[in-house]
Structure 1
Amino acid sequence: MENLNDLVAFMAVARERNFTRAAVQLGVSQSALSRTVRALEERMGLPLLMRTTRSVSLTDAGERLVSTIEPRLTEIGSELESLRALADRPAGTVRITTTDYDANTLIWPRVQPLLRRYPELKIEIISDYGLSDIVANRYDIGVRLGDEVAKDMIAAPIAPPMTMAIVGSPKYLKSHPAPKKPQDLTLHNCINLRLPTRDALLPWELKKGKRQVRVRVDGQLVFNSIYPILEAALSGYGLGYVPKDMAAPHVAARRLAWVLEDWFPTFVGLHVYYPSRRKSSRAVELVVEALKQGYPRRAS
């Protein structure tokens, strides 16, 4: 194997039929190239080239060596090119942890073009309200609200600030007068969200001006996902605490109504994040860029 470079040098001379041009192609001096080929001939015990002051030609042994190794060197070169291309072509599985709402409304629409463009790319989207540790659970990317991202992560905004809203159906509000202040929520049938990591119900965070309150509500229903909360509210089973964008179409269609609208809180928008100490694959880089590019940053 230590003679492979000598064979490459010999092949360059055989193709060019000229030591000067071959030396330029290989980036070596003509004298060094001549010594390399001569050393190869001495090891093989056969002359491979016939040299004159005007030309270089192949001996029978040289012709045979060329016909033997040229296709193999071409094959090796092609395979090396394929491997280099692989480094730039996204392949493998990218695992993302997020919530179902974020997966449906943001992540899935933005990664679809990548899946069509790169058939060797696989994306695994795991819905999880437990704020999983992406390192411990071997995720490549996380998508969460900005204030939920650990400080040692690389993070970038991918969505505008998120406003949460309280909604109820006209049917429910007809028999249960709308609350006037946050404390009145304790008198209502409220639909709760359970957080798996804390094994606790999510308190409803509300804000009006500089006033902030956290209300622990109660009711007949508890879910571990935001979508059933919206459906239960639409069906008149109580008040729900959901992203405002999610409920807005139903409010516009008068299937739901805002409750305590002047107390709706706004949180830092969604961020994509990943470990700062981990070198990302090309596939991960492309997914991150797709998520970031979907969020047009407005000039201030």
Structure 2
Amino acid sequence: MRRGTLDDLAAFAAVARHRSFTRAAAEMGLSPSALSHMMRALEARHGVRLLARTTRSVALTPAGERLLRSVGPALEDVARGLDALAEWRGAPSGRLRLTTFAYAARAILEPRLPNFLIDHPAVSVEVIVDDPLTDIVAAGFDAGIRFGETVERDMVAVRVGPDLRTVVVATPDYFARHPRPESPADLEAHRCVNYRLVGGGGLLPWEFARDGREIRVRAAGQLVVNDGRLAAAAIRAGAGIGYMLEDEAADDLAAGRLVQALDAWCPSFPGCHLYYPDRQVTPALRSLIDALRWREAPSPPCP
């Protein structure tokens, strides 16, 4: 292999990942012009165009996409191998890439990740927040955070949050205008605020269970969104009846701003889990797992 080829390929992968010479150059510790020169030299050396450049963006050509599929996993393995050397230095270091979704980013990472970064200055973390489930091995992630029931069985899963429950809520004013539903079937007569899944494009089903019977409802409504905060704002304003995580509605329920319905139909389910492939864990990932791991609060002493 030609001297410097590994550096060129790592730089190419960074440009492909960021779709930007400026951001990739910052990651590599280079100037954008130096990085652009490296990419042109790589293309000239192999006689094929890898990147399609415009004044505003960078995209992969078909040849570039094929090269990335070939070398991307190998580059990730090299990075993990170098990160694993931290065991011999006595302190976690290296780069971690995580995939998660909006709720887990707010509930799990916002309160805990900053302290982890302060305590581990040699570890850098990239977090991609996206709703669709991701093949973390194929996409080059070290770990993901999702609800426990969605984690693939061939992954190692570590609980990082408590069990959760989804509840049906609306304002008192809304229920003054519309009869409170007594069963999931009654939702067909209501203005349901629906959430559209970003990846698959379908509506999030409202899931219920009681006495061993499970029901999935896709009720019609006046509003469909793909942003949880906007959905919650519409529910709190009385525009419809909504399907929310109980902990996100707790303050409004306690203050009487929202009222719950179908309580007996809303069981708990496994909360957030961090998951990763069953293979050698780097010291950096092991430290992050320990920082995020869910620890039950101790029970109060008996009187």
Show structure 2 runs of 5+ residues with no match: 1-84
The answer to whether the Cα contact below 8 Å between 2:167 and 2:245 also exists between their aligned partners in 1 is yes
The one-letter code of the counterpart of 1:280 is: V
The answer to whether the Cα contact below 8 Å between 2:191 and 2:220 also exists between their aligned partners in 1 is yes
Per-residue Cα deviation, 1:83-125 (whole angstroms, up to 9, x for no partner): 8687432333322222211111122212222111222322222
Q: 1:287 is matched with which residue?
A: 288
Task: Tell me the TM-score normalized by structure 2.
Answer: 0.66
Matched, 1:205 2:207: yes
Q: C-alpha distance in 2, partners of 1:179/1:128?
A: 32
The answer to whether the Cα contact below 8 Å between 1:190 and 1:219 also exists between their aligned partners in 2 is yes
The answer to whether the Cα contact below 8 Å between 1:146 and 1:268 also exists between their aligned partners in 2 is yes
Q: 2:127 is matched with which residue?
A: 125
Pick the aligned partner of 2:254 from 238, 252, 256: 252
Q: Which runs of 4 or more aligned residues in structure 1 lie more than 3 Å from their structure 2 counterparts after TM superposition?
A: 83-88
Show structure 1 runs of 5+ residues with no match: 1-82
Q: C-alpha distance in 1, partners of 2:99/2:145?
A: 6
Task: Tell me the TM-score normalized by structure 1.
Answer: 0.66
The one-letter code of the counterpart of 2:148 is: G
Q: C-alpha distance in 2, partners of 1:176/1:86?
A: 65
Per-residue Cα deviation, 1:232-286 (whole angstroms, up to 9, x for no partner): 1101111111111110111111111101111113112221100113x33221111
Q: 2:161 is matched with which residue?
A: 159
Per-residue Cα deviation, 1:193-241 (whole angstroms, up to 9, x for no partner): 1123322111100112322211111112222232222111101111111
Q: C-alpha distance in 2, partners of 1:233/1:225?
A: 13
RMSD (Å) for aligned C-alpha atoms: 2.1
Taking every aligned residue pair, what percent have the same amino acid on both sides?
38
Q: C-alpha distance in 2, partners of 1:84/1:243?
A: 39
The answer to whether the Cα contact below 8 Å between 2:93 and 2:122 also exists between their aligned partners in 1 is yes
Q: 2:185 is matched with which residue?
A: 183
**In structure 2, the residue corresponding to 1:199 is in which secondary structure?**
coil
- Correspondence list, 1:67-82, <5 A: none
Q: Higher mean Cα deviation, 183-192 or 226-235?
A: 226-235
**Greater Rg over alpha carbons, structure:** 1
Matched residue count:
215
Q: 2:10 is matched with which residue?
A: none
Per-residue Cα deviation, 1:60-88 (whole angstroms, up to 9, x for no partner): xxxxxxxxxxxxxxxxxxxxxxx868743
